[in-house]
Amino acid sequence: MNLAEREMEIPASEPERQYYFIERARQDLEKMKEAAGRQLTFCVTTFGCQMNARDSEKLVGILEQVGYIEEPDEEKADFVIYNTCTVRENANQRVYGRLGQLGHIKKKNPHMMIALCGCMMQKPEVVEKLKKSYRFIDLIFGTHNIYKFAELLATRMESGRMVIDIWKDTDKIVEDLPSERKYPFKSGVNIMFGCNNFCSYCIVPYVRGRERSRDPRAIIREIERLVADGVVEVMLLGQNVNSYGKTLEEPMTFAQLLKEIEKIDGLERIRFMTSHPKDLSDELIEVMGQSRKICRHLHLPVQSGSSRILEKMNRRYTKEHYLELVKKIRAAVPDISLTTDIIVGFPGEMEEDFQETLDVVRQVRYDSAFTFIYSKRTGTPAAAMEEQVSEDVVKDRFDRLLTEVQKIAGEMCSVHQGAVQTVLVESVNEHDPELMTGRLSNNLLVHFPGDESLIGKLVDVSLDECRGFYYIGRQI
């Protein structure tokens, strides 16, 4: 077949087009395997959040269909892909550091290819730097065209040249592409993409684009298929799940979506992430209170306890509003576990502001909190703000915050001592093969004697001994 004929047979519509390129890449890989005289392997390394973790499962799904075999050790793999994060500067630094090492390994392996994708690639200065100083990279793409991975891979294999394809934004959502799951019994499910909030410190709206929700029917269909395939727990994913459905042709609320998902037979647990306090509705609180399947855990990022700083962050709620919300949630779902994200050292943060943050931490009593040092992201409004806080002041506040958060988290964990609760068994304990590790509805980990046959099952355990942030238990 000549080139023109070959171009004509490429399907124009998705996902058919990608299935076509999977087949083409499979044929290309066959030739590469013959030349190498062995199987070729891949390793997908994920940086950052659960969204990226889910995207990586899609990459794995495609690589497996193309015929690569998974190799957990990145230094031994023939195809290495980094799915990157850029939410804080240290995420970028880690990628550059590891890339340097990969470059050396590639010199020794003529069959090796290196690809980069994810949020960091959406920044033009990053791609410029990679093009200039990391010429050994084979393929670079961004967050908006990840569904095109098979096509880009085939293009790279056939052209032998570095392939770069980054889109500024998209309104496209491609359904029904292959995807692998890390765990057979639980899965992330995207319900929306992008973010429209523009918190002033955050790069996400610039690298993940405008908010768009998936059609509820596509979400339900995906979950039904997952359940038929053995999944009992889903984590609904979006940057701001509370604003789900606003952009749909037939608008629908997140609470309504949850009610539909609850009806799916065989599905036992529903989690979701992340909620923005400004959009958390009374309707959602009511649905959570009544649900049998929604887990007793809410991640509700506060970012700061100071209303003055919250305004500069463009969060669109005050300290009082946030505390009021927490009160309502605790009233409707008394056993709920609350977790949060907090940023220390936002520009202009004074000791009084920091004290307000500590006050919120003490009033809410979080079960756990992710604490971050503010990281300046070029292009965001906060990066241009004056009064950036000095490093030693930030470090001191960060340490004080961490001490408080950990003290309270330990106390919150210990209140369950002696209770019997259900865990979803996830794995054999990493340190002790006699123990199994499971997760409670409220997200706490429990380790208890058992065997591998329990993985993926829901079992009742007695929470015998609190060890700081987890329990040692016993199956009942």
Chain residue whose CB lies nearest ligand 5AD: 341
Comparing CB distances to ligand SF4, the nearer of 239 and 421 is 239
**Single residue of 66, 87, 287, 364 touching ligand 5AD by CB under 6 A:** 87
Q: How far is C-alpha 91 from the geometric centre of its chain's CA atoms?
A: 14
Amino acid at 51: M
Q: Map residues 311-350 to x or -, x wherever contact with ligand 5AD holds by CB under 6 A.
A: ------------------------------x-x-------
Which two three-digit tokens encode residue 211?
């908010």
Q: State the binding partner of 284 from ligand 5AD, ligand SF4, none, CB within 5 to 8 A by kind.
A: none
Q: State the binding partner of 421 from ligand 5AD, ligand SF4, none, CB within 5 to 8 A by kind.
A: none
Nearest to 283 by CA among 308, 259, 313, 319: 259
Touching ligand SF4, residues 231-250 (CB under 6 A): 239-240
Q: Give me the count of residues in the chain.
A: 476
| Cβ at position 306, least distance to ligand SF4 in Å | 16
Q: State the binding partner of 343 from ligand 5AD, ligand SF4, none, CB within 5 to 8 A by kind.
A: ligand 5AD
> In 415-454, where does DSSP find H-type helix?
none
Say how many Å lie between the first and final Cα of the chain, rounded.
66
Interacting span for ligand 5AD (CB under 6 A) from 229-237, 306-314, 370-378, 399-407? 370-378
Q: Strand, helix or coil at 223?
A: helix
Comparing CB distances to ligand SF4, the nearer of 123 and 293 is 123
Q: Which residues contact 155 (CB under 8 A, 6 or more apart)?
A: 163
d(CA 138, CA 440): 43
d(CA 474, CA 410): 21
**Single residue of 199, 270, 338, 344 touching ligand SF4 by CB under 6 A:** 199
d(CA 239, CA 48): 13
**Single residue of 79, 185, 201, 254 touching ligand 5AD by CB under 6 A:** 201
| Cβ at position 214, least distance to ligand 5AD in Å | 21
Place of tokens 């979400």: 219
**Single residue of 134, 167, 183, 372 touching ligand 5AD by CB under 6 A:** 372
Comparing CB distances to ligand 5AD, the nearer of 244 and 374 is 374
d(CA 178, CA 147): 10
Strand pairing class (435-440; 445-449):
antiparallel
**Single residue of 81, 116, 157, 202 touching ligand 5AD by CB under 6 A:** 202
**Single residue of 59, 120, 202, 329 touching ligand SF4 by CB under 6 A:** 202
d(CA 450, CA 339): 29
User: Taking the CA atoms of the chain, what radius of gyration do you get in angstroms?
Assistant: 23
Touching ligand SF4, residues 139-198 (CB under 6 A): 195, 197-198
Query: In this structure, what DSSP letter does residue 385 have?
Result: -
Would you tell me which residues interact with ligand 5AD (CB under 6 A)?
87-88, 201-202, 301, 303, 341, 343, 372, 374-375, 377
